[in-house]
Structure 1
């Protein structure tokens, strides 16, 4: 989404940078993945079990902007700037992140230059990214001891938003009821916590980072596989766990009427046998998604191999 102030001075450099950013990522999915990855890096859930912003220390929160800048450079391979973080479309651009929209700290080296300003809210699974030239009339009066300042109301209104409050892959642990998640983390073993996650999140997308967090280990695929993982543990309860890595499993998700997982996502579905005329074919049988509260007396088919 792009918003323009009809009375703003022409800025060909800003136009060129905006065009390049939109060319490289027309739907914003790559930027959304950068923001998701940065949150997951700062939580470090596989080692810490953390998944919320309020669980971080102050120094970690401060470090988020640096990680965001690095992850964006890796994803888009921006050239390094001379006085700023990047050179995009041949122009100097500095990257600034703030967890609170409008609170970007702007150093003297970005004054009169272009700033790429971004913010996000993991609880609501949204992010925003825009561009602004840090003109004198856009800067708040006063500065901290590092001579950094923020945008004043005029400056905040001058931001050209390329994406505003755009969805990103959700952190399922923030979408589920907090008491349920708290109870999940009281379970002693990673296998138990993983199994419970897929029970609680039935029909909802689960990013692999959430599996790593509840299992507290890096190999999320091991916790999901049939040989001792969640698939074999939950099949007797009627659950299948589909991975977005495989096209056939994505097709099954679509047939069952649940969200189709992306490459780094899973989805668990509780299923019951169905009539061939209405059911989805899974491993030679026909199945449908179980209704809430509907008993499941038949074990779900088991994907022994990841790519079945």
Structure 2
């Protein structure tokens, strides 16, 4: 990498960290941003799709646009005049791939690019910076006159994140038959009951609940008064909230739940039963 390029990319890295209000915040939020981008394109509540592989080719391409929008919002930076972003007076493009390589459009030749790559199978992501000099690009081009970053060019990428974990898609680890049983149940309550019965003692996010519940006020499905929570209570199962029941979750020795997660538990000791009864969950 040319020394001037390295100086430019190091300065950009520091600017990204500053805009994120620190390196730790950048590393914490960008992986979640990638997960959200993919999930919003999968759009389970409206499409009943669960995984990236179910998307059409054009939809997969749109993940890059979602990442651009969410990253721009997270860092609070303006759109560029020609490229995706304007940072410190520089035009910067964002290129995303879910495969191996990135395709660079003509307007970004010789410019700075933020490269993002993700693998749903591994739940790992990469984020790097490059100045897309001509010598770093393939000689050939596609019908849109885009060029691939060459093998030599890949050596010139300055990596900020490499093989970095991002939140896993819950459905990647669910057997196809189990997923089908959950999603094909005849009502939102029945779908959520099937979900939590299949995955006891495992934190389940609001996003998964929304996808399974498939209605506007999806959280109503797990409230008392006609929701799945009442069914569980009648059958000796407690549905706990990471927001309201964190102390009980800790007392029972369950996995830690974030404020956005719920966990179902079927107590099997007198002590656990009493704790849940005292809290009104049984």
Query: Could you say which TM-score interval applies, normalised by the shorter chain?
Result: 0.7 to 0.9
Partner of 1:302: 281
| Helix, strand or coil at the partner of 2:196 | helix
Q: Could you tell me how far 1:86 is from its partner in structure 2?
A: 0.8
Partner of 1:9: 3
Change (3 A) 1:215 1:19: same
Matched, 1:53 2:52: yes
Partner of 1:39: 38
| Helix, strand or coil at the partner of 1:192 | helix
2: CA distance between counterparts of 1:166 and 1:219?
A: 34
| Over 4 Å off, 4+ runs | 279-283
| Helix, strand or coil at the partner of 2:189 | helix
What does 1:195-210 align with in structure 2 at a 5 Å threshold?
A: 195-210=193-208
Matched, 1:159 2:153: no
Q: Could you tell me how far 1:13 is from its partner in structure 2?
A: 2.1
CA contact (8 A) 2:205 2:260 kept: yes
Higher relative contact order (CA 8 A, sep 6+): 1
Partner of 1:26: 23
Change (3 A) 1:283 1:53: same
2: CA distance between counterparts of 1:268 and 1:21?
A: 40
| Helix, strand or coil at the partner of 1:302 | coil
2: CA distance between counterparts of 1:280 and 1:221?
A: 27
Taking structure 1 as the reference length, the TM-score comes to 0.80
Partner of 1:217: 215
Deviation digits for residues 173-228 of structure 1, max 9, x if unmatched? 22222221122223211211111111222222322221122222243311121222
5+ residue gaps in structure 1?
A: 1-6, 286-300, 304-308
Deviation digits for residues 105-137 of structure 1, max 9, x if unmatched? 111222222111112223443322221221222
Partner of 2:257: 261
Q: Could you tell me how far 1:230 is from its partner in structure 2?
A: 2.1
5+ residue gaps in structure 2?
A: none
1: CA distance between counterparts of 2:166 and 2:237?
A: 26
Taking structure 2 as the reference length, the TM-score comes to 0.87
2: CA distance between counterparts of 1:173 and 1:237?
A: 26
| Helix, strand or coil at the partner of 2:23 | coil
Matched, 1:118 2:112: no
1: CA distance between counterparts of 2:58 and 2:140?
A: 24
Q: Could you tell me how far 1:148 is from its partner in structure 2?
A: 0.8
2: CA distance between counterparts of 1:257 and 1:127?
A: 32
2: CA distance between counterparts of 1:115 and 1:123?
A: 25
Q: Could you tell me how far 1:94 is from its partner in structure 2?
A: 0.7
1: CA distance between counterparts of 2:124 and 2:253?
A: 24
CA contact (8 A) 2:125 2:163 kept: yes
Change (3 A) 1:155 1:280: farther
| Matched residue count | 277
